[in-house]
């Protein structure tokens, strides 16, 4: 059977290996596995969320309130925007796909950093659009601007703030200066999946959606419950933008695009900010230990504004080998070899998980040096 | 801002009114509302599913096993197919969207019954394809065939077996005879969302996916956990087809397209067939009461192979008025006025819900006759 020609160029996203797969393929005992590969909150989610989701367990047969009234009201209050400025997605991922399908096509182009969230490219390819990337792995706005000025047909620019999978973050002022130079016909998607972490570490990186969308009617801010709120498995994110953008994206949203329990979880999660604060505080305390660990062992890391850290190796080390050896010990991390980097991305876990990672990693690393 | 031109023709799907909205807009007490509008299983889901989902409540932070190994194995065993013949979607809805985006485009056409599941058209419009519908509301394969033979550029044919929102169902033999006349380049999507009900009522309507895909490499069978399994709110469905079709559709699937708890719920649901059987048995016992009710009051109904019944009114009655009056009494049904029919679709509820519906409906209906 023949398919639409865009399918020929599609790549399938390679997810972090799940625990179940490591048990099956490597025969490692399930209880000894630690997964530091997908930037899941190691503290889970708020106990209040767990309790309220369980108390709604008899409603799994019922479709969610498709207007998502209560969740939108909660987000509108949190961000001082109107609920008409909000769209809910099955993860902020899905809002990316709406943005892409609304603007990108085979006659235009989208622009992103060389190493950034893989789904931007995957969704973009579904439209047959041309993908442009900056020469630098990390976000470099000068490079973005040069490419933008040399290509008049760019429909979307992606800025991942802070950037996954590398961890760096631009400041708000840099971003605003950049946005001032962008035509209002170009959709600029500001992916704030890790913004809760960035703003804790450095206020200067904080992008406030209400301020952003007032200044820039072409900006689409993305947020998620998957990271700081600890609900990665529930697939719930959101987009915040000028009402005209939201109206266009809503046309691409299928009804009931999140589950009844996800909707409940997200609504309740917004009520327990203390949980989120505590998680983020611990995250950056643990991050310091990783930074010291890297310095002590003598390898590079990228200063991170997120809940993960990217460790970069010299040529004598190989990130693929290191990842594989860790896997055999039941530790799952993300190898960034596929991005053309000799690096691994490690999610900041609980203190116990981090200690175990460092112990096992050190053994591999020193073995490797002797080998 | 300019958007891709296909957005201009997109309609937004109007979901059945959720209970929350009726509480807000009509001021009806939440506990007195019954929703017979979205074909949700009135018995909820298996207690075994509720228990096991709750016991996984601490895993909401973890992304699901994206290979969906265990669920695919369960479905493969159930349907005697290989797990490579299966794709999982966020509801069978999402598998429809994959099929549409794989085949339909602005240079070809898709064919469906005049009155059938609204999402076929909504997804199809996203591709800019041309939509062809049969003259008859219900499935008429002679009409399908004539249109097919007069249009050589049909990329997809949708058959909804049984048909939502009308309830009728073709027999397997009719469907096979039809498929024999269809070119293998045309994707035929057989939507079996309500097949569990149909095959209980009449074995002759049963489409067995393993037999179907062996005979027809261009057929895509859809199933769901939303109806008989009582998991509508969890958004989990599946497609079964020749491995070449599945490989193409997998390219369009984003990672983690169902939630961690949905995956668990579906896996466990497959282990409690007794629950499903009991629900279906009760459904058709109650259906008989609806049929007698319609005959006694003297209006038409469509014989239904599903968990809902479509009640058709003469010209003196108006389905929009009836639906509105029911709503004020806290009873939510689906008005089929938007489909150009003077009819309502009523989900078969519990015996208590059905009695209440009939009591309130009768009052409205007789009032109406006197008015």
Residues B357-363, mean pLDDT to the nearest whole number:
96
DSSP secondary structure letter of residue A106: T
Q: Give A47-272's CATH code, choosing from 1.10.1740.10, 3.40.1530.20, 3.40.640.10, 3.40.50.2300.
A: 3.40.640.10
Query: In this model, does residue A15 exceed pLDDT 80?
Result: no
Q: Nearest C-alpha of chain B: how many angstroms from A81?
A: 20
Tokens of A24: 């099956």
Chain A interface test: which of B6, B106, B226, B259 (most A C-beta within 10 Å): B259
Given this model, what pLDDT does residue B365 score?
Answer: 85
Inter-chain CB proximity B60 and A4 less than 8 Å: no
- Tell me which chain B residues have a C-beta less than 8 angstroms from the C-beta of A102: 3-4, 7
With an 8 Å Cβ cutoff, is B12 touching chain A? yes
| Helix, strand and coil in chain A, % to nearest 5 | 50, 15, 35
Q: Are strands B334-335 and B343-347 parallel, antiparallel or unpaired?
A: antiparallel
Query: pLDDT tens across B56-98, in order?
Result: 999 999 999 999 999 999 999 999 999 999 999 999 999 999 9
In angstroms, how far is CA B315 from the centroid of its own chain? 28
The distance from CA A186 to its chain's CA centroid, rounded to whole angstroms, is: 22
pLDDT at B300 over 80: yes
Distances (CA, A) of B303 to B175, B202, B284: 19, 12, 11
> Which of A12-26, A83-97, B354-368 is predicted least confidently?
A12-26
Q: What is chain A's mean pLDDT, rounded?
A: 95
pLDDT at A274 over 70: yes
Judged against a pLDDT cut of 70, whether residue B12 lies above it is answered with: no
Q: Which pLDDT score is estimated for A190?
A: 98
Share of chain B above pLDDT 70, in %: 97
- For residue B225, give the chain A residue with the closest CA: A61
Strands B308-312 and A154-160: unpaired
How do beta strands A109-112 and A86-89 pair? unpaired
d(Cα A213, Cα A215) in Å, to the nearest integer?
5
pLDDT beyond 60 at A371: no
User: Model confidence over B199-214: pLDDT tens digits?
Assistant: 999 999 999 999 999 9
pLDDT in tens, B145-195: 999 999 989 999 999 999 999 999 999 999 999 999 999 999 999 999 999
For residue A316, is pLDDT > 90? no
| Predicted confidence (pLDDT) per residue in A230-270, tens digit | 999 999 999 999 999 999 999 999 999 999 999 999 999 99
Helix (H) or strand (E) run with residue B253 in it: none
What class, spelled out in words, does domain B5-45+274-370 have in CATH? alpha beta
pLDDT exceeds 80 at position B40:
yes
Task: Give the pLDDT confidence score for residue A370 in this predicted structure.
Answer: 53
Interface of B with A in 86-115 (CB under 8 A): 90-91, 93-94, 97, 101-105
Tokens of B317: 């009655």
Residue count of chain B: 371
For the whole prediction, is pTM greater than 0.80?
yes
Give B203: exposed, middle or buried? Use CB within 10 Å, 0-12, 13-18, 19+: exposed
What would the pLDDT profile of A130-161 be if each residue is shown by its tens digit? Answer: 999 999 999 999 999 999 999 989 999 999 99
What pLDDT does residue B371 have? 46
What is the 8-class DSSP label of residue B69? H
Which percentage of chain A shows pLDDT scores above 70? 97
Which of residues 62 through 81 in chain B touch A, CB cutoff 8 A? Answer: 62-67, 69-70
Number of Cβ within a 10 Å radius of residue A70: 17
A316 touches B at CB < 8 Å: no
ipTM > 0.90? yes
**To the nearest whole number, what is the mean pLDDT of chain B?**
95
Q: Domain coordinates of chain A in residue numbers?
A: 5-45+274-370, 47-272
Q: For position B104, what pLDDT does the model report?
A: 97
Kindly state the average pLDDT of the residues B2-20: 80
For residues B77 and B69, what is the distance between their CA atoms, to the nearest angstrom?
12
B8–chain A Cβ distance below 8 A for any pair: no
A60's CB contacts (< 8 A; 6+ apart) are: A260, A261, B44, B45, B49, B50, B53, B230, B231, B232, B233, B234, B265
Chain B partners of A7 at a C-beta cutoff of 8 Å? 102, 248, 251-252
Beta-carbon contacts of A57 under 8 Å, excluding residues fewer than 6 positions away, are: A261, B50, B53, B54
Does the beta carbon of B234 lie under 8 angstroms from any beta carbon of chain A?
yes
CA distance B109 to B127: 10
pLDDT at B20: 78
For residue B286 the two structure tokens come to 């109650």
User: Which of A113-127, A141-155, A312-326, B8-22 comes out lowest in average pLDDT?
Assistant: B8-22
CA A344/CA A69 separation, integer angstroms: 41
The answer to whether residue A198 neighbours chain B at the CB level (below 8 Å) is: no
CA-wise closest residue to A223 among A194, A203, A247, A246: A194
Q: Is A248 left (phi over 0), alpha (psi -120 to 50) or beta?
A: alpha
């Amino acid at each position: 059977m023949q398919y639409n020609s865009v399918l020929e160029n599609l790549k399938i996203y390679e997810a972090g290996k799940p625990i179940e797969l490591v048990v099956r393929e490597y025969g490692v005992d399930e209880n000894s596995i630690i997964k530091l590969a997908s930037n899941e909150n190691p503290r889970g989610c708020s106990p209040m969320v767990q309790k309220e989701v369980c108390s709604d367990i008899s409603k799994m047969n019922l479709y969610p309130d498709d207007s998502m009234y209560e969740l939108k009201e909660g987000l509108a209050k949190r961000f001082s925007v109107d609920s008409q400025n909000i769209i809910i997605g099955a993860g902020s991922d899905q809002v990316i796909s709406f943005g892409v399908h609304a603007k990108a096509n085979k006659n235009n182009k989208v622009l992103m950093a060389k190493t950034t969230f893989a789904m931007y490219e995957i969704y973009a390819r579904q439209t047959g659009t041309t993908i442009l990337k900056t020469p630098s792995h990390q976000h470099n706005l000068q490079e973005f601007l040069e490419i933008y000025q040399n290509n008049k047909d760019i429909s979307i620019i992606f800025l991942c703030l802070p950037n996954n999978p590398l961890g760096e973050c631009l400041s708000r002022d840099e971003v605003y200066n950049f946005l001032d130079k962008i035509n209002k016909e170009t959709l600029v998607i500001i992916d704030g999946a890790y913004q809760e972490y960035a703003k804790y570490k450095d206020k200067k990186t904080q992008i406030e959606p209400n301020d952003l969308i007032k200044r820039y009617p072409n900006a689409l801010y993305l947020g998620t419950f998957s990271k700081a709120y600890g609900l990665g498995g529930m697939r719930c994110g959101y987009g915040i933008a000028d009402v005209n953008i939201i109206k266009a994206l809503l046309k691409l949203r299928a009804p009931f695009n999140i589950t009844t329990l996800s909707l409940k979880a997200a609504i309740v999660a917004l009520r327990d900010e203390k949980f989120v604060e505590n998680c983020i505080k611990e995250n950056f305390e643990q991050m310091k230990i990783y930074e010291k660990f890297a310095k002590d062992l003598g390898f590079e890391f990228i200063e991170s504004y997120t809940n993960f850290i990217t460790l970069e190796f010299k040529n004598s080390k190989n990130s693929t080998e290191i990842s594989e050896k860790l896997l055999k010990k039941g530790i799952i991390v993300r190898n960034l070899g596929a991005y053309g980097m000799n690096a691994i991305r490690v999610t900041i876990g609980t203190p116990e998980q981090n200690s175990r990672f460092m112990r096992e990693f050190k053994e591999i690393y020193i073995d490797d040096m002797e080998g």
